[in-house]
Amino acid sequence: MGIDHSKATAIVRFTGLGLLRFGEPSNRDVQNLQACEIGILECKNHDLYIDIQEMSSNGTRVILSSLRLRKDMTIDVEGQLDRKVSKFLGGDIDKVADTGDPEDFRWITDFSSKPFYGTPLPGRQEPSPILSINHGVFYTALRTDFHCARVTPANAGGFAKATDPVFVGRIGYVLGVDISCPDNGAVILKSADLPQGAVRLQKKEGAQYIVNITNDCDDSPVDPRRGTDFLTYYQVLDVPEPAQYDLRHAVEDGGMTSGAITIPETGGKFSLDGSPQLCNLATATIVRP
């Protein structure tokens, strides 16, 4: 079960608002995808930062600390000419019943699957900057410790009048990417924002690199008139406002409240609770013109 992370030369973790888009090969094999782009979404109170540490038996060595990123960045493996990324799928998964491997990639919110749209979506505009990752295994590094519901924000009453709730369950909050190098290889990060334009993470026996990239908010409270930061995705997804979705905190109700909502799949009940700020990443299949 899960992934053997000890084999990774570098582990990349991404937290915050970012839209994952995978390059699909002709056979659509999820274990042999071509590359992945994470489009960074601009949002108030959000800034994009990168931290890099080297972990070994000698302790922790800081390579980069809270460096602000504004330009595109590529993460590649030195000496590898072919591009190969994959999604970790850990067998059967049931989000509503909260069963399945916690590292399964499918905990990540997917706009192109149910209970969202269930179809590829047209793009509205290109996000910027773009983080391109050309090698690695993509998985859920961390899920929320609370359940969520998909809601439709009512135009007249804003977020406080959200309608049509559908239970989603726990969602992937942190993306993980394990990148492995051949002997004498290295993970190379390139961006105009990096010192000398690049950082080289040389594979070493007994050492591993942790790359944390964040586009999270400062825990500002949710404005009930506008909803959570999850709605920022509609800056880049071309979905009419009446069909847009937000996320709400869903709590098990047990049938004690007359307004409780039944979960068809399980027969259980839930109610909408207070609204945590949701800046989780998501994925979608984009229809390109």
- For residue 173, count other CB atoms closer than 10 A to its CB: 21
Residue 164: CA count within 13 A, CB half-sphere? 11
Domain ranges across the chain: 5-146+169-243+278-287
Look up residue 212 and give its DSSP letter.
E
How far is CA 104 from each of CA 16, 52, 95, 238, rounded to the nearest angstrom?
Answer: 18, 25, 11, 28
Q: Which pLDDT score is estimated for 84?
A: 84
Sequential DSSP letters for 251-276: EE-TT-STT-EE-TTT--EEEE----
Question: For each of the chain's 289 residues, which pLDDT tens digit applies?
Answer: 679 999 999 999 999 999 999 875 444 445 556 789 999 998 877 889 999 999 998 999 999 999 999 999 999 998 765 668 999 999 999 998 899 999 999 999 999 999 999 999 999 888 999 999 999 999 999 999 888 888 887 654 445 556 788 899 999 999 999 999 988 899 999 999 999 999 999 999 999 999 999 998 766 666 656 778 888 999 999 998 888 998 888 887 754 555 677 777 777 888 877 666 677 888 888 876 5
Nearest to 276 by CA among 147, 108, 168: 147
Instruction: Match 């409780």 to its residue by tokens.
Output: 260
* Residue 287 structure tokens: 């229809």
pTM over 0.85, yes/no: yes
Q: Which pLDDT score is estimated for 153?
A: 78
